[in-house]
Amino acid sequence: MSELAASAASPEMGAAPLSGGARLARAFLRHRLAAWAALYLLVLAAVPLIGPHIAPHDPVQTDLARTFEGPGSEHWLGTDHLGRSMSSRIIAATAVALKAAALGVGIALVLGAPLGLVCGYLGGWWDRVAMRVVEAVIALPALLVAIAILAILGPSLTNAMIALGIVNATAFFRLMRGTALEAREAVYVDAARVGGASTPRILARHVLPNVAGPLTVQTTLTFAYVLLAEAGLSYIGLGVQPPQASWGVMLATAQNYLHQHPFMVAPPGLLIVFTVLAFNLLGDGLRDALARGEAPAGSRRRHRATSAPPDAAAATAGAMPLLRVVDLEVRFQAPRGGELTVVSGVGFDVEAGRTVGLVGESGCGKSVTAMAIMGLLDAGGQATGSVAFGGQELLGLPEPALNRIRGGDVGMIFQEPSASLNPAFTVKHQIGEALRLHAGLNRRQAGSRAVELLAQVGIPDASRRADDYPHHFSGGMAQRAMIAMALAGDPKLLIADEPSTALDVTIQAQVLDLLSALQEERGMAILLITHDLGVIADLCDEALVMYAGQIIERGPAAALLTAPAHPYTAGLLASMPQNQRGASLAQIPGRVPPAWGWPAGCRFHPRCPHATEACAKEDTTLRHLGAGRWNRCRRIGEIDVAEGWR
């Protein structure tokens, strides 16, 4: 799946280079609402600066002859119970609110962020003391703490903001501490230390830039919170004191005359609602813009695959192998519109009891092929062609029917065993679940069968270990448990996607041995996906070599490894160290092209030492060479494939 993520995320990079700022701005502007919110806040921010100059009246000047006037030409928003101009008062109140919020947020930022950064990075005693204090503050409702501080310092807006600043500093502290803790473990920080960078330098140059995004979002959201809190405190008489104007004060006044003059509530009320909303929208927009490479929010639903005509599949069912893949093509919705083909024209058979290896470098489409076979493509993925399992067409099969096959006749294991097991349940429970679902056992039978299976995959003391949770298992043991779970449905085919890649060589060898032993016992077929040609040599009867979404060579594993017929396979083998110290290894120039950059003609030709003009122009086909070997290279027979890599 990582290949997929890479190929889906990278078109951004393939495009014309944008500076970081421009890219951020573009991502941000895609959020219409957030852009409007930013514009609104910009206008609002201008109020404290130009407000006093455009306000037509003194906001505290009373005129008892003109109370409760409606909106008019002199007083745009009318007057209040003392005849003061509502428009002037709202301008003054906005200025007060923003200044106050800036003060509150400023205090929170200055107090919390540096402290969090230093405590998180240095850790130790100071960090532990600071954390206890922060926890104590968080345990109390923020507004109550503010009120308590005000009770000591006396009601005033500045005091209120100092109180809120202190309370909100904890959020900044925790954010910065968390990031700094993470950074302390980051390899690039180790690298900087090896380079001789001092601690202040590491904090400023390595840690801060990575926290700038979350910090901006946190600041925006705190602004909204502090504005609301200021209005609330002033409303109950603990913040701004009348006759000074503030949204909270104005709201409190308006409330007294709610029945006679309902309009008075509108200006301060709406301003509070819109401003807080705008800050929140801005925060959301910034967060989304900063989350680089994340998929846009949308359907996570798996796409239904479309199938080949059912008659064709049924007609050939008689002599079908266990799994027959014909002309499989997988397309994904590209992030910037259009479709991206990531696998094309893939076809192969897996006979019962045989092991077929699908090998290739990352980005060649091998994992996507496995996922497409199982109907597990991510959102936006679509598979066409034909995948027939035991004569039944799987593409286009409804989800419930697929679910019966997955985990039943077809078992699957993945690269990261600990990520594929649910940490919340015991291993026995999870295997038992699969048994109840696919073998129709009751709870007790499932439990004892789960223990049997765990013993079968070589977990020592299985009856006791079965009640452990996955995190109690080492990587190798967790992979054994995953295999036990895949065996629950007594599968005819096991699809293993890089089953040993995350493990140590010694443990990898044990997992490979377990797979071949299980295969001997049960006669199940294995489709093994790997990047390691050595693993192919160890386990597989047949090998399929993939490059840029196509199978470029196919044949019996031993023959293919000893006498590769495609220049790419030969290059891969020649680039692996072969017991010759100091000799220069073969280098395949360039890199695997991404799915949006597949070259015309033979997809390997730009990296191939044997390429001719024809290779760059004409498409290739997988041709049968006899003796079970297939090849895509047009120049086969004309060239010595090994020669090009010396």
Partner 1 sequence: MTTDAPPLLEVDDLHVRFRVRRGVFGGGSYTVYALRGVSLTMRAGETLGVVGESGSGKSTLGRALLRLTDLHRGTIRLEGQAVHALKGRMLDFRRDLQAVFQDPYASLNPAMVVADIVGEPLTVHFGLRGRERDAKTAALLDRVGLAADHLERYPAEFSGGQRQRIAVARALALEPRLIVCDEPVSALDVSTQSQVINLLQALQASFGIAYLFIAHDLAVVRHISHRIAVMYLGSIVEMGPAQRVCDQPAHPYTEMLLAAAPVTDPVEQRRRKALRRKLPASELPSPAEVLPGCPFHTRCAYATDICKQQLPSPSPVAGGGWAACHLLPAAG
- Per CB under 8 A, residues contacting partner 1 are 13, 17, 20, 186-188, 190-198, 201, 205-206, 209-210, 212, 361-362, 458, 474, 476-477, 504-510, 512-513, 531-538, 557-558, 561-562, 571-573, 575-588, 591-592
Q: How far is the CB of 529 from partner 1 (least distance, A)?
A: 15
Q: Are 623 and 565 in contact (CB under 8 A)?
A: no
Closest to partner 1 by CB, 115 vs 183, is 183
Closest to partner 1 by CB, 376 vs 509, is 509
Closest to partner 1 by CB, 292 vs 617, is 292
Residues 6+ apart with CB under 8 A from 261: 68, 254
Q: How far is the CB of 465 from partner 1 (least distance, A)?
A: 13
User: Facing residues of 349 across strands?
Assistant: 324
Closest to partner 1 by CB, 249 vs 359, is 359
Q: How far is the CB of 200 from partner 1 (least distance, A)?
A: 11
Closest to partner 1 by CB, 277 vs 507, is 507
375/223 Cα distance (integer angstroms): 46
Closest to partner 1 by CB, 63 vs 532, is 532
Give the relative orientation of helices 266-290 and 20-29 as an angle to the nearest 10 degrees: 130
243 preceded by a cis bond (ω within 30 of 0): yes
Closest to partner 1 by CB, 100 vs 611, is 611
Q: Are 511 and 500 in contact (CB under 8 A)?
A: yes
Give the relative orientation of helices 208-235 and 142-153 as an angle to the nearest 10 degrees: 60
Closest to partner 1 by CB, 61 vs 474, is 474
Closest to partner 1 by CB, 334 vs 586, is 586
Q: How far is the CB of 167 from partner 1 (least distance, A)?
A: 26
Q: How far is the CB of 184 from partner 1 (least distance, A)?
A: 11
Closest to partner 1 by CB, 260 vs 580, is 580
* In 373-519, beta strands by DSSP E: 381-389, 392-393, 410-413, 493-497
Q: How far is the CB of 414 from partner 1 (least distance, A)?
A: 19
Closest to partner 1 by CB, 255 vs 474, is 474
Side-chain half-sphere CA neighbours of 69 within 13 A: 21
Q: Measured in Å, how far apart are the chain's first and last C-alpha atoms?
A: 34
Q: How far is the CB of 30 from partner 1 (least distance, A)?
A: 20
Q: How far is the CB of 117 from partner 1 (least distance, A)?
A: 15
Q: Are 383 and 305 in contact (CB under 8 A)?
A: yes
User: Facing residues of 530 across strands?
Assistant: 359
Q: Are 391 and 322 in contact (CB under 8 A)?
A: no
Query: How many residues comprise the chain?
Result: 646
Q: Label residue 370 exposed, middle or buried (CB < 10 Å: 0-12, 13-18, 19+).
A: buried
Closest to partner 1 by CB, 241 vs 575, is 575
Residues 6+ apart with CB under 8 A from 235: 248, 249, 251, 252
Q: How far is the CB of 527 from partner 1 (least distance, A)?
A: 18
Q: How far is the CB of 10 from partner 1 (least distance, A)?
A: 9
Q: How far is the CB of 560 from partner 1 (least distance, A)?
A: 9
Closest to partner 1 by CB, 205 vs 617, is 205
Q: How far is the CB of 470 from partner 1 (least distance, A)?
A: 16
Q: Are 167 and 107 in contact (CB under 8 A)?
A: no
Q: How far is the CB of 515 from partner 1 (least distance, A)?
A: 12
Q: Which residue has the tokens 């990278």?
A: 10
Closest to partner 1 by CB, 439 vs 559, is 559
Q: Which residue has the tokens 């093994």?
A: 528
Single-letter amino acid, residue 387: V
Structure tokens at 442: 């009751």
CA distances to 577, 579, 585, 588 from 582, rounded to whole Å, are: 10, 9, 9, 18
| Three-state secondary structure of 488-522 | CCCCCEEEEECCCCCCCHHHHHHHHHHHHHHHHHH
Closest to partner 1 by CB, 238 vs 595, is 595
**Helix, strand, coil percentages for the chain (3-state, nearest 5):** 55, 10, 35
Strand-by-strand arrangement of the 410-413 sheet: 410-413, 493-497, 525-530, 355-359, 542-547, 550-556, 629-631, 623-626
User: Running DSSP on this structure, what letter comes out for residue 364?
Assistant: S
Single-letter amino acid, residue 429: H
Q: How far is the CB of 203 from partner 1 (least distance, A)?
A: 13
218/496 Cα distance (integer angstroms): 43
H helix or E strand, kind and range, residue 487: helix 475-487
Q: How far is the CB of 210 from partner 1 (least distance, A)?
A: 5
